[in-house]
Each structure stands twice: as structure tokens, then as C-alpha cells.
Amino acid sequence: MNRFVQEAKVAAEDVPRITAAVTAVVREHGSPGHLETALEQLPHEIRALLLQSTA
């Protein structure tokens, strides 16, 4: 989470809400598999945060 906070420049308490919103928008507007393809390009820590928000 620290890396997300530092690189995205957001407060730690906002991370769960932001990651949930990001993944929801990508899933809604992207083609099937788009989110997974995008996630493969991200650092492991950020990818884990985004996947956690979809659980």
C-alpha cells in the first residue's frame, strides 16, 4: 500500500476506495480480459491491491 500511496500521491485511508473504483471502471468499460492484461504490467504490490478490491 505504501508504494501506491507514494506513487499515486493519495492518503492511505483512500486507497481501498480508489482501487475499487479503478478496477470497477476498467471492468465496466474495457473488453473481457482487459483488466487482467493491464494488471500484468503493474508492479506486484499495486497489482495485489487492485485485485484485493475485486474480491
Angle at 51 between CA 54 and CA 17, to 5 degrees: 60
How much is the pTM? 0.64
Query: For residues 34 and 47, what is the distance between their CA atoms, to the nearest angstrom?
Result: 14
Could you tell me the pLDDT band of residue 20, with boundaries at 50, 70 and 90?
A: confident
Does residue 13 have a pLDDT over 90?
A: yes
In the chain, the amino acid numbered 47 is R
Could you tell me the pLDDT band of residue 53, with boundaries at 50, 70 and 90?
A: low
